[in-house]
Amino acid sequence: MKSFFGVYIKPLYHIPMNLPSLAEARHVIGICGGAVGGSEAAALIAKKGCIAVVFEQNIRPYGKIEDGLPRWHSKLRAKEYAKIDENLATPGVVFVPGTRLGMDLSFSTLSNNAGLSALILAHGAWLDRPLPIEGADRFIGNGLSYQNPFVYWFNHYEESGFSGEDFPIHDDAIVIGGGLASIDVCKILNLELYTRALRDRGITADVEEMELRGIPRTVEAHGYTPDDFAIRGCTLFYRRGKEDMPLENISNPTAQRMEKLRGTRAKIMDKVMRKYLVRFQPNVVPVEGVEEGGVLNGVVFQRTEIVDGRVKRLEGTEFIVRSKQIISSIGSTPTPIDGVRMEGELYRWQNRDEGRLVDGVYGLGNVLTGKGNIVESRRNSKAITPAVVDRVLASPKIPPEGISEIVSLIKARWDVVGYPGDYVDWMNAKSSTA
Ligand SMILES: Cc1cc2nc3c(=O)[nH]c(=O)nc-3n(C[C@H](O)[C@H](O)[C@H](O)COP(=O)(O)OP(=O)(O)OC[C@H]3O[C@@H](n4cnc5c(N)ncnc54)[C@H](O)[C@@H]3O)c2cc1C
Protein backbone atom coordinates (compact mmCIF):
# COMPACT_ATOMS: atom_id res chain seq x y z
CA MET A 1 0.00 0.00 0.00
CA LYS A 2 2.98 2.29 0.53
CA SER A 3 4.59 3.60 -2.67
CA PHE A 4 8.32 4.00 -3.21
CA PHE A 5 7.94 7.69 -2.34
CA GLY A 6 6.62 6.95 1.12
CA VAL A 7 3.05 7.95 0.25
CA TYR A 8 0.16 5.65 0.98
CA ILE A 9 -1.78 4.91 -2.15
CA LYS A 10 -5.38 3.93 -1.82
CA PRO A 11 -5.79 0.52 -3.42
CA LEU A 12 -8.58 0.29 -6.00
CA TYR A 13 -10.64 -1.82 -3.64
CA HIS A 14 -10.25 0.72 -0.84
CA ILE A 15 -13.53 1.78 0.69
CA PRO A 16 -13.31 4.41 3.47
CA MET A 17 -13.86 2.55 6.72
CA ASN A 18 -17.03 4.02 8.02
CA LEU A 19 -18.58 3.17 11.31
CA PRO A 20 -20.86 0.16 11.46
CA SER A 21 -24.44 0.84 10.52
CA LEU A 22 -26.48 2.05 13.45
CA ALA A 23 -29.55 0.26 12.21
CA GLU A 24 -28.21 -3.26 12.09
CA ALA A 25 -27.56 -5.85 14.80
CA ARG A 26 -23.92 -7.02 14.55
CA HIS A 27 -21.18 -8.89 16.35
CA VAL A 28 -18.45 -6.44 17.40
CA ILE A 29 -15.10 -7.57 18.82
CA GLY A 30 -12.77 -5.07 20.48
CA ILE A 31 -8.99 -5.49 20.19
CA CYS A 32 -6.40 -3.63 22.28
CA GLY A 33 -3.21 -3.17 20.28
CA GLY A 34 -2.98 -2.89 16.51
CA ALA A 35 0.47 -4.30 15.69
CA VAL A 36 1.40 -7.77 14.41
CA GLY A 37 -0.92 -9.84 16.63
CA GLY A 38 -3.78 -7.34 16.93
CA SER A 39 -3.96 -6.38 13.24
CA GLU A 40 -3.88 -10.02 12.18
CA ALA A 41 -6.78 -10.76 14.53
CA ALA A 42 -8.70 -7.71 13.23
CA ALA A 43 -8.48 -8.80 9.60
CA LEU A 44 -9.49 -12.38 10.46
CA ILE A 45 -12.49 -11.12 12.45
CA ALA A 46 -13.63 -8.77 9.67
CA LYS A 47 -13.29 -11.48 7.03
CA LYS A 48 -15.64 -13.65 9.09
CA GLY A 49 -18.32 -10.95 8.99
CA CYS A 50 -17.88 -9.37 12.43
CA ILE A 51 -16.76 -5.80 13.10
CA ALA A 52 -13.28 -5.48 14.65
CA VAL A 53 -12.62 -2.29 16.63
CA VAL A 54 -8.89 -1.81 17.21
CA PHE A 55 -7.96 0.44 20.16
CA GLU A 56 -4.29 1.37 19.74
CA GLN A 57 -2.43 3.53 22.26
CA ASN A 58 -0.19 5.15 19.66
CA ILE A 59 -0.92 7.32 16.67
CA ARG A 60 0.68 4.67 14.44
CA PRO A 61 -0.06 0.99 14.96
CA TYR A 62 3.25 -0.77 14.37
CA GLY A 63 4.20 -1.56 17.98
CA LYS A 64 7.51 -3.37 18.45
CA ILE A 65 8.09 -3.35 14.70
CA GLU A 66 8.58 0.41 14.83
CA ASP A 67 9.71 0.94 18.42
CA GLY A 68 11.42 -2.34 19.39
CA LEU A 69 13.10 -3.90 16.38
CA PRO A 70 16.21 -1.72 15.78
CA ARG A 71 15.82 0.47 12.71
CA TRP A 72 18.52 -1.31 10.69
CA HIS A 73 15.91 -4.05 10.00
CA SER A 74 14.54 -1.74 7.31
CA LYS A 75 13.36 -4.44 4.87
CA LEU A 76 11.65 -6.48 7.58
CA ARG A 77 10.08 -3.31 8.96
CA ALA A 78 8.71 -2.27 5.54
CA LYS A 79 7.28 -5.76 5.00
CA GLU A 80 5.60 -5.82 8.42
CA TYR A 81 4.29 -2.25 8.10
CA ALA A 82 2.67 -3.23 4.78
CA LYS A 83 1.06 -6.31 6.33
CA ILE A 84 -0.28 -4.33 9.31
CA ASP A 85 -1.58 -1.61 6.96
CA GLU A 86 -3.31 -4.18 4.79
CA ASN A 87 -4.93 -5.79 7.84
CA LEU A 88 -6.13 -2.52 9.36
CA ALA A 89 -7.51 -1.23 6.05
CA THR A 90 -9.66 -4.36 5.65
CA PRO A 91 -13.35 -3.45 5.34
CA GLY A 92 -14.96 -4.25 8.67
CA VAL A 93 -11.94 -3.10 10.72
CA VAL A 94 -12.42 0.16 12.64
CA PHE A 95 -9.19 1.78 13.85
CA VAL A 96 -9.20 3.88 17.02
CA PRO A 97 -5.70 5.36 17.52
CA GLY A 98 -4.38 7.28 20.53
CA THR A 99 -6.47 5.17 22.88
CA ARG A 100 -4.73 3.40 25.72
CA LEU A 101 -6.38 0.57 27.62
CA GLY A 102 -6.12 1.32 31.33
CA MET A 103 -5.87 5.07 30.76
CA ASP A 104 -8.22 6.38 28.05
CA LEU A 105 -10.58 3.44 28.41
CA SER A 106 -10.66 1.14 31.42
CA PHE A 107 -10.59 -2.63 31.28
CA SER A 108 -14.03 -2.80 32.86
CA THR A 109 -15.43 -0.44 30.19
CA LEU A 110 -14.14 -2.58 27.36
CA SER A 111 -14.75 -5.97 28.93
CA ASN A 112 -18.26 -5.19 30.25
CA ASN A 113 -19.85 -1.81 29.98
CA ALA A 114 -19.22 -1.12 26.31
CA GLY A 115 -21.30 -4.15 25.40
CA LEU A 116 -18.80 -5.64 22.95
CA SER A 117 -19.29 -9.27 21.85
CA ALA A 118 -15.74 -10.06 23.06
CA LEU A 119 -12.45 -8.33 23.82
CA ILE A 120 -9.02 -9.43 22.61
CA LEU A 121 -5.90 -8.14 24.35
CA ALA A 122 -3.02 -7.82 21.88
CA HIS A 123 -1.09 -5.03 23.57
CA GLY A 124 2.27 -6.75 23.82
CA ALA A 125 4.84 -6.82 26.62
CA TRP A 126 6.29 -3.38 27.20
CA LEU A 127 7.26 -3.32 30.86
CA ASP A 128 11.00 -3.81 31.28
CA ARG A 129 11.61 -6.54 33.83
CA PRO A 130 13.20 -4.74 36.81
CA LEU A 131 16.94 -5.04 37.32
CA PRO A 132 17.29 -7.38 40.32
CA ILE A 133 19.18 -4.86 42.47
CA GLU A 134 17.18 -3.47 45.35
CA GLY A 135 16.25 0.18 44.84
CA ALA A 136 17.99 0.31 41.46
CA ASP A 137 15.11 2.10 39.77
CA ARG A 138 15.83 5.32 41.66
CA PHE A 139 18.83 5.65 39.31
CA ILE A 140 16.79 5.58 36.11
CA GLY A 141 18.15 8.50 34.09
CA ASN A 142 21.07 8.74 36.53
CA GLY A 143 23.32 5.99 35.25
CA LEU A 144 20.65 3.33 34.74
CA SER A 145 18.50 2.82 31.64
CA TYR A 146 16.19 0.10 30.47
CA GLN A 147 16.10 -1.53 27.08
CA ASN A 148 12.66 -0.46 25.81
CA PRO A 149 13.12 3.34 26.09
CA PHE A 150 16.72 3.03 24.90
CA VAL A 151 15.80 1.20 21.68
CA TYR A 152 12.86 3.57 21.20
CA TRP A 153 15.31 6.49 21.36
CA PHE A 154 17.66 4.82 18.86
CA ASN A 155 14.81 4.20 16.39
CA HIS A 156 13.46 7.74 16.55
CA TYR A 157 16.09 10.26 17.61
CA GLU A 158 17.05 11.19 14.05
CA GLU A 159 13.47 12.08 13.13
CA SER A 160 12.81 15.78 12.78
CA GLY A 161 10.90 17.10 15.73
CA PHE A 162 11.84 14.16 17.98
CA SER A 163 11.10 15.29 21.53
CA GLY A 164 11.39 12.01 23.45
CA GLU A 165 13.84 11.06 26.16
CA ASP A 166 17.45 11.52 25.14
CA PHE A 167 20.17 8.97 25.89
CA PRO A 168 23.89 9.69 26.14
CA ILE A 169 26.30 7.12 24.72
CA HIS A 170 29.29 6.30 26.92
CA ASP A 171 32.18 3.98 26.17
CA ASP A 172 32.64 0.89 28.32
CA ALA A 173 28.94 0.52 29.11
CA ILE A 174 27.55 -2.39 31.10
CA VAL A 175 24.67 -4.26 29.47
CA ILE A 176 22.94 -6.84 31.63
CA GLY A 177 21.02 -9.43 29.68
CA GLY A 178 21.56 -12.43 27.46
CA GLY A 179 18.69 -12.61 24.95
CA LEU A 180 18.50 -11.32 21.39
CA ALA A 181 17.26 -7.90 22.46
CA SER A 182 20.27 -7.42 24.78
CA ILE A 183 22.55 -8.12 21.82
CA ASP A 184 20.71 -5.40 19.89
CA VAL A 185 21.34 -3.01 22.80
CA CYS A 186 25.08 -3.84 22.67
CA LYS A 187 25.14 -3.36 18.92
CA ILE A 188 23.42 0.03 19.19
CA LEU A 189 25.98 1.22 21.74
CA ASN A 190 29.02 0.15 19.72
CA LEU A 191 27.62 1.25 16.36
CA GLU A 192 26.89 4.67 17.86
CA LEU A 193 30.40 4.88 19.38
CA TYR A 194 32.15 4.12 16.09
CA THR A 195 29.79 6.26 13.99
CA ARG A 196 30.52 9.21 16.25
CA ALA A 197 34.27 8.51 16.29
CA LEU A 198 34.33 8.42 12.48
CA ARG A 199 32.29 11.61 12.38
CA ASP A 200 34.90 13.28 14.61
CA ARG A 201 37.41 12.47 11.86
CA GLY A 202 35.19 14.00 9.21
CA ILE A 203 33.83 10.69 7.93
CA THR A 204 30.11 10.19 7.59
CA ALA A 205 29.17 6.61 8.34
CA ASP A 206 25.67 5.24 8.27
CA VAL A 207 24.64 3.09 11.24
CA GLU A 208 22.57 0.79 9.04
CA GLU A 209 25.45 0.21 6.64
CA MET A 210 27.84 -0.38 9.53
CA GLU A 211 25.45 -2.94 11.01
CA LEU A 212 25.48 -4.78 7.69
CA ARG A 213 29.25 -4.77 7.15
CA GLY A 214 30.31 -4.91 10.78
CA ILE A 215 32.49 -2.41 12.62
CA PRO A 216 36.00 -3.70 11.69
CA ARG A 217 35.24 -3.83 7.95
CA THR A 218 33.62 -0.38 8.03
CA VAL A 219 36.53 1.38 9.73
CA GLU A 220 39.03 -0.52 7.57
CA ALA A 221 37.25 0.77 4.46
CA HIS A 222 38.18 4.26 5.71
CA GLY A 223 41.83 3.36 6.28
CA TYR A 224 41.66 2.68 10.03
CA THR A 225 41.72 -0.30 12.32
CA PRO A 226 39.47 -0.52 15.39
CA ASP A 227 42.58 -0.01 17.59
CA ASP A 228 43.03 3.48 16.16
CA PHE A 229 39.97 4.65 18.08
CA ALA A 230 40.83 3.54 21.62
CA ILE A 231 37.22 2.51 22.10
CA ARG A 232 36.67 -0.33 24.58
CA GLY A 233 33.06 -0.94 23.62
CA CYS A 234 30.33 -2.29 25.84
CA THR A 235 30.29 -5.58 27.73
CA LEU A 236 27.36 -7.95 27.97
CA PHE A 237 27.05 -9.56 31.41
CA TYR A 238 25.09 -12.83 31.44
CA ARG A 239 24.28 -15.23 34.26
CA ARG A 240 25.06 -18.34 32.21
CA GLY A 241 27.45 -19.25 29.39
CA LYS A 242 27.31 -18.42 25.68
CA GLU A 243 25.93 -21.88 24.90
CA ASP A 244 22.90 -21.21 27.12
CA MET A 245 21.91 -17.88 25.56
CA PRO A 246 18.35 -18.00 24.18
CA LEU A 247 19.56 -16.82 20.77
CA GLU A 248 18.26 -19.89 18.98
CA ASN A 249 15.70 -22.39 20.26
CA ILE A 250 14.05 -25.63 19.19
CA SER A 251 11.21 -27.40 20.95
CA ASN A 252 11.89 -30.73 22.69
CA PRO A 253 15.43 -31.26 21.38
CA THR A 254 17.12 -34.66 21.68
CA ALA A 255 20.43 -34.70 23.60
CA GLN A 256 22.27 -34.68 20.30
CA ARG A 257 20.30 -31.75 18.87
CA MET A 258 20.71 -29.89 22.17
CA GLU A 259 24.48 -30.20 21.88
CA LYS A 260 24.32 -28.87 18.34
CA LEU A 261 22.05 -26.03 19.46
CA ARG A 262 24.50 -25.05 22.20
CA GLY A 263 27.26 -24.90 19.62
CA THR A 264 25.12 -22.73 17.33
CA ARG A 265 24.37 -20.28 20.17
CA ALA A 266 28.06 -19.94 21.02
CA LYS A 267 28.83 -19.31 17.34
CA ILE A 268 26.16 -16.58 17.15
CA MET A 269 27.66 -14.81 20.16
CA ASP A 270 31.21 -15.21 18.82
CA LYS A 271 30.09 -13.53 15.61
CA VAL A 272 28.51 -10.65 17.57
CA MET A 273 31.81 -10.19 19.43
CA ARG A 274 33.85 -10.21 16.19
CA LYS A 275 31.54 -8.16 14.01
CA TYR A 276 30.43 -5.55 16.56
CA LEU A 277 33.35 -5.71 19.00
CA VAL A 278 31.07 -6.52 21.92
CA ARG A 279 32.80 -7.95 25.00
CA PHE A 280 31.17 -10.76 26.94
CA GLN A 281 31.28 -11.71 30.61
CA PRO A 282 29.54 -15.05 31.26
CA ASN A 283 28.43 -16.54 34.58
CA VAL A 284 27.76 -13.42 36.61
CA VAL A 285 24.70 -11.88 38.26
CA PRO A 286 24.30 -8.28 39.44
CA VAL A 287 23.86 -8.09 43.22
CA GLU A 288 24.34 -4.46 44.17
CA GLY A 289 24.66 -1.01 42.68
CA VAL A 290 27.62 1.29 43.22
CA GLU A 291 26.40 4.81 43.93
CA GLU A 292 28.39 8.01 43.79
CA GLY A 293 26.75 11.39 44.34
CA GLY A 294 23.28 10.08 43.62
CA VAL A 295 24.40 8.47 40.37
CA LEU A 296 24.73 4.75 39.65
CA ASN A 297 28.25 4.34 38.38
CA GLY A 298 28.95 0.68 38.78
CA VAL A 299 27.62 -2.75 39.59
CA VAL A 300 28.76 -5.40 42.03
CA PHE A 301 28.59 -8.76 40.27
CA GLN A 302 28.76 -12.21 41.78
CA ARG A 303 30.08 -15.18 39.86
CA THR A 304 27.86 -18.17 39.14
CA GLU A 305 28.13 -21.75 38.04
CA ILE A 306 25.52 -23.91 36.40
CA VAL A 307 24.57 -26.94 38.49
CA ASP A 308 21.99 -29.37 37.03
CA GLY A 309 20.89 -26.67 34.64
CA ARG A 310 20.35 -24.11 37.44
CA VAL A 311 22.25 -20.93 38.15
CA LYS A 312 24.14 -21.23 41.45
CA ARG A 313 25.61 -18.07 42.97
CA LEU A 314 29.09 -18.42 44.38
CA GLU A 315 29.41 -16.59 47.71
CA GLY A 316 32.56 -14.54 48.19
CA THR A 317 33.19 -14.06 44.46
CA GLU A 318 31.83 -10.51 44.25
CA PHE A 319 33.65 -7.94 42.13
CA ILE A 320 32.91 -4.38 41.06
CA VAL A 321 32.64 -3.12 37.50
CA ARG A 322 32.39 0.65 37.07
CA SER A 323 30.64 2.39 34.21
CA LYS A 324 28.84 5.63 33.43
CA GLN A 325 26.18 3.74 31.48
CA ILE A 326 24.34 0.68 32.72
CA ILE A 327 21.54 -0.77 30.61
CA SER A 328 19.29 -3.51 31.87
CA SER A 329 17.93 -5.77 29.13
CA ILE A 330 16.53 -8.80 30.87
CA GLY A 331 13.18 -9.04 29.12
CA SER A 332 9.80 -7.33 28.99
CA THR A 333 6.51 -8.36 30.53
CA PRO A 334 2.89 -7.24 30.01
CA THR A 335 2.08 -3.96 31.75
CA PRO A 336 -0.32 -4.48 34.68
CA ILE A 337 -3.80 -3.11 33.89
CA ASP A 338 -6.37 -2.24 36.55
CA GLY A 339 -8.91 -5.05 36.63
CA VAL A 340 -6.64 -7.70 35.07
CA ARG A 341 -5.43 -10.22 37.63
CA MET A 342 -1.74 -11.05 37.65
CA GLU A 343 0.09 -14.32 38.20
CA GLY A 344 3.67 -13.31 38.91
CA GLU A 345 4.74 -11.01 36.13
CA LEU A 346 2.17 -12.35 33.62
CA TYR A 347 -1.61 -12.00 33.46
CA ARG A 348 -3.57 -14.79 35.11
CA TRP A 349 -4.95 -16.70 32.11
CA GLN A 350 -7.85 -19.09 32.71
CA ASN A 351 -6.72 -21.13 29.73
CA ARG A 352 -3.44 -20.16 28.13
CA ASP A 353 -3.81 -22.47 25.09
CA GLU A 354 -7.12 -20.85 24.18
CA GLY A 355 -5.78 -17.44 25.19
CA ARG A 356 -8.75 -17.02 27.55
CA LEU A 357 -8.29 -14.51 30.36
CA VAL A 358 -11.89 -14.65 31.60
CA ASP A 359 -15.13 -15.39 29.78
CA GLY A 360 -15.36 -13.07 26.80
CA VAL A 361 -11.82 -11.72 27.15
CA TYR A 362 -8.90 -13.25 25.26
CA GLY A 363 -5.27 -12.49 24.60
CA LEU A 364 -2.69 -13.21 21.92
CA GLY A 365 0.86 -12.37 20.87
CA ASN A 366 3.44 -11.04 23.32
CA VAL A 367 0.81 -10.13 25.94
CA LEU A 368 -0.13 -13.80 26.28
CA THR A 369 3.35 -15.31 26.19
CA GLY A 370 5.32 -12.43 27.72
CA LYS A 371 7.91 -12.98 24.97
CA GLY A 372 8.15 -14.15 21.38
CA ASN A 373 8.85 -12.86 17.93
CA ILE A 374 6.99 -11.67 14.85
CA VAL A 375 6.26 -15.12 13.46
CA GLU A 376 5.04 -16.37 16.84
CA SER A 377 2.73 -13.38 17.38
CA ARG A 378 1.17 -13.85 13.96
CA ARG A 379 0.90 -17.64 14.36
CA ASN A 380 -0.59 -17.20 17.82
CA SER A 381 -3.14 -14.74 16.48
CA LYS A 382 -4.14 -17.14 13.69
CA ALA A 383 -4.46 -19.99 16.20
CA ILE A 384 -6.57 -18.12 18.77
CA THR A 385 -8.76 -15.69 16.79
CA PRO A 386 -10.88 -18.14 14.73
CA ALA A 387 -12.06 -19.93 17.88
CA VAL A 388 -12.95 -16.59 19.50
CA VAL A 389 -14.95 -15.61 16.40
CA ASP A 390 -16.76 -18.97 16.33
CA ARG A 391 -17.80 -18.49 19.97
CA VAL A 392 -18.94 -14.95 19.25
CA LEU A 393 -20.91 -15.98 16.15
CA ALA A 394 -22.72 -18.58 18.27
CA SER A 395 -23.87 -15.80 20.62
CA PRO A 396 -26.66 -13.25 19.96
CA LYS A 397 -25.83 -10.19 17.86
CA ILE A 398 -25.60 -6.81 19.57
CA PRO A 399 -28.92 -5.02 19.00
CA PRO A 400 -28.95 -1.61 17.22
CA GLU A 401 -29.16 0.31 20.55
CA GLY A 402 -25.99 -1.43 21.71
CA ILE A 403 -24.28 -0.76 18.37
CA SER A 404 -25.23 2.87 18.73
CA GLU A 405 -23.51 3.05 22.13
CA ILE A 406 -20.35 1.44 20.77
CA VAL A 407 -20.34 3.91 17.89
CA SER A 408 -20.64 6.82 20.33
CA LEU A 409 -17.64 5.53 22.26
CA ILE A 410 -15.58 5.17 19.05
CA LYS A 411 -16.59 8.63 17.83
CA ALA A 412 -15.71 10.22 21.16
CA ARG A 413 -12.17 8.79 20.89
CA TRP A 414 -11.89 9.79 17.22
CA ASP A 415 -12.83 13.35 18.19
CA VAL A 416 -10.19 13.47 20.93
CA VAL A 417 -7.36 12.39 18.59
CA GLY A 418 -8.71 14.02 15.40
CA TYR A 419 -8.97 10.73 13.52
CA PRO A 420 -10.86 11.28 10.26
CA GLY A 421 -12.40 7.80 10.20
CA ASP A 422 -10.27 6.48 7.38
CA TYR A 423 -7.12 4.45 8.05
CA VAL A 424 -5.39 5.17 4.74
CA ASP A 425 -5.93 8.95 4.97
CA TRP A 426 -4.74 8.90 8.58
CA MET A 427 -1.57 6.96 7.80
CA ASN A 428 -0.80 9.22 4.86
CA ALA A 429 -0.93 12.17 7.23
CA LYS A 430 1.12 10.40 9.90
CA SER A 431 3.76 8.77 7.69
CA SER A 432 6.13 11.70 7.24
CA THR A 433 8.48 10.29 9.87
CA ALA A 434 8.32 6.65 8.72
C1 LIG B 1 15.07 -5.07 20.58
C2 LIG B 1 14.11 -6.04 19.94
C3 LIG B 1 14.50 -6.74 18.81
C4 LIG B 1 13.65 -7.66 18.21
N5 LIG B 1 14.07 -8.32 17.08
C6 LIG B 1 13.23 -9.20 16.48
C7 LIG B 1 13.64 -9.86 15.27
O8 LIG B 1 14.73 -9.63 14.76
N9 LIG B 1 12.75 -10.75 14.72
C10 LIG B 1 11.52 -11.01 15.27
O11 LIG B 1 10.76 -11.82 14.73
N12 LIG B 1 11.12 -10.39 16.40
C13 LIG B 1 11.95 -9.50 17.01
N14 LIG B 1 11.54 -8.86 18.15
C15 LIG B 1 10.26 -9.22 18.77
C16 LIG B 1 9.06 -8.75 17.94
O17 LIG B 1 9.24 -7.41 17.54
C18 LIG B 1 7.79 -8.90 18.79
O19 LIG B 1 7.75 -10.20 19.36
C20 LIG B 1 6.51 -8.72 17.97
O21 LIG B 1 6.62 -7.64 17.06
C22 LIG B 1 5.35 -8.53 18.95
O23 LIG B 1 4.15 -8.30 18.27
P24 LIG B 1 2.80 -8.12 19.12
O25 LIG B 1 1.77 -7.67 18.14
O26 LIG B 1 2.54 -9.35 19.89
O27 LIG B 1 3.13 -6.99 20.17
P28 LIG B 1 3.54 -5.45 19.97
O29 LIG B 1 4.33 -5.23 18.75
O30 LIG B 1 4.13 -5.04 21.26
O31 LIG B 1 2.13 -4.76 19.75
C32 LIG B 1 1.34 -4.33 20.79
C33 LIG B 1 0.58 -3.09 20.36
O34 LIG B 1 -0.27 -2.70 21.43
C35 LIG B 1 -0.11 -1.33 21.70
N36 LIG B 1 -0.39 -1.14 23.12
C37 LIG B 1 0.41 -1.39 24.18
N38 LIG B 1 -0.22 -1.12 25.33
C39 LIG B 1 -1.46 -0.70 25.00
C40 LIG B 1 -2.59 -0.30 25.76
N41 LIG B 1 -2.56 -0.27 27.10
N42 LIG B 1 -3.71 0.09 25.09
C43 LIG B 1 -3.75 0.08 23.73
N44 LIG B 1 -2.71 -0.30 22.97
C45 LIG B 1 -1.58 -0.71 23.60
C46 LIG B 1 1.31 -1.01 21.31
O47 LIG B 1 1.47 0.36 21.01
C48 LIG B 1 1.49 -1.91 20.08
O49 LIG B 1 1.11 -1.27 18.89
C50 LIG B 1 12.37 -7.91 18.76
C51 LIG B 1 11.96 -7.19 19.89
C52 LIG B 1 12.81 -6.27 20.47
C53 LIG B 1 12.35 -5.51 21.68
243: in domain = yes
Provide the pLDDT for residue 17. 52
Q: Whole-angstrom Cα distance, residue 162 to residue 258?
A: 45
pLDDT of 433 > 80? The answer is no
Q: Which of 40, 53, 123 to mutate to test the pocket of ligand 1 (most atoms within 8 A of CB)?
A: 123
For the CA of 185, the closest atom of ligand 1 is 1
| CB of 149 closer than 6 angstroms to any ligand 1 atom | no
Centre of ligand 1 to C-alpha 168, Å, is 25
2: in domain = no
> Do 323 and 344 belong to one domain?
no
Provide the pLDDT for residue 38. 98
Final residue before a domain boundary, out of 332, 353, 378: 332
Query: Are the C-beta atoms of residues 88 and 3 closer than 8 Å to each other?
Result: no
> Do 232 and 149 belong to one domain?
yes
> Do 138 and 255 belong to one domain?
yes
Centre of ligand 1 to C-alpha 296, Å, is 29
Going by CA atoms, what residue is nearest to atom 38 of ligand 1?
Answer: 123
> Do 349 and 294 belong to one domain?
no
Backbone φ and ψ of 274, nearest 5°: -70, -45
> Do 261 and 396 belong to one domain?
no
> Do 77 and 226 belong to one domain?
no
Q: What does pLDDT average to over the chain? A: 93
> Do 253 and 145 belong to one domain?
yes
Beta-sheet strands, E only, within 211-292: 235-237, 279-281, 284-292
Range of the domain at 95: 28-126+334-430
| CB of 69 closer than 6 angstroms to any ligand 1 atom | yes
92: in domain = yes
64-104 tens-digit pLDDT: 999 999 999 999 999 999 999 999 999 999 999 999 999 99
Final residue before a domain boundary, out of 274, 309, 332: 332
For the CA of 37, the closest atom of ligand 1 is 25
154-185 tens-digit pLDDT: 999 999 999 999 999 999 999 999 999 999 99
9: in domain = no
153: in domain = yes
Centre of ligand 1 to C-alpha 68, Å, is 7
Centre of ligand 1 to C-alpha 317, Å, is 38
Provide the pLDDT for residue 23. 77
pLDDT band for position 20 (cuts 50, 70, 90): confident
> Do 296 and 399 belong to one domain?
no
For the CA of 377, the closest atom of ligand 1 is 26
| CB of 377 closer than 6 angstroms to any ligand 1 atom | yes
How many structural domains compose the chain?
Answer: 2
Going by CA atoms, what residue is nearest to atom 12 of ligand 1?
Answer: 373
> Do 169 and 239 belong to one domain?
yes
Provide the pLDDT for residue 432. 53
| CB of 426 closer than 6 angstroms to any ligand 1 atom | no
**What is the arithmetic mean of pLDDT over 143-153?**
98
Going by CA atoms, what residue is nearest to atom 23 of ligand 1?
Answer: 36
Query: Are the C-beta atoms of residues 349 and 355 closer than 8 Å to each other?
Result: yes
Length of the chain, in residues: 434
Q: Which of 373, 375, 380 to mutate to test the pocket of ligand 1 (most atoms within 8 A of CB)?
A: 373
For the CA of 100, the closest atom of ligand 1 is 42
Centre of ligand 1 to C-alpha 93, Å, is 20
412: in domain = yes
Partners of residue 68 on adjacent β-strands: none
The CATH number of the domain where 323 resides is what? 3.50.50.60
Provide the pLDDT for residue 431. 81
pLDDT band for position 8 (cuts 50, 70, 90): very low
> What percent of the chain stands above pLDDT 90?
89
For the CA of 67, the closest atom of ligand 1 is 53
For the CA of 366, the closest atom of ligand 1 is 26
> Do 274 and 408 belong to one domain?
no
Final residue before a domain boundary, out of 289, 307, 332: 332
> Do 35 and 68 belong to one domain?
yes
Query: Are the C-beta atoms of residues 391 and 118 closer than 8 Å to each other?
Result: yes
Going by CA atoms, what residue is nearest to atom 27 of ligand 1?
Answer: 124
| CB of 128 closer than 6 angstroms to any ligand 1 atom | no
pLDDT of 14 > 50? The answer is no
> What's the sign of the alpha-carbon dihedral 351, 33, 410, 86?
negative
5: in domain = no
| CB of 66 closer than 6 angstroms to any ligand 1 atom | no
> Do 179 and 309 belong to one domain?
yes
CA distances (Å), 164 to each of 68, 122, 145, 149, in order?
15, 25, 14, 9
169: in domain = yes
The CATH number of the domain where 418 resides is what? 3.40.50.720
Centre of ligand 1 to C-alpha 64, Å, is 3
357's CB contacts (< 8 A; 6+ apart) are 121, 340, 347, 348, 349, 350, 363
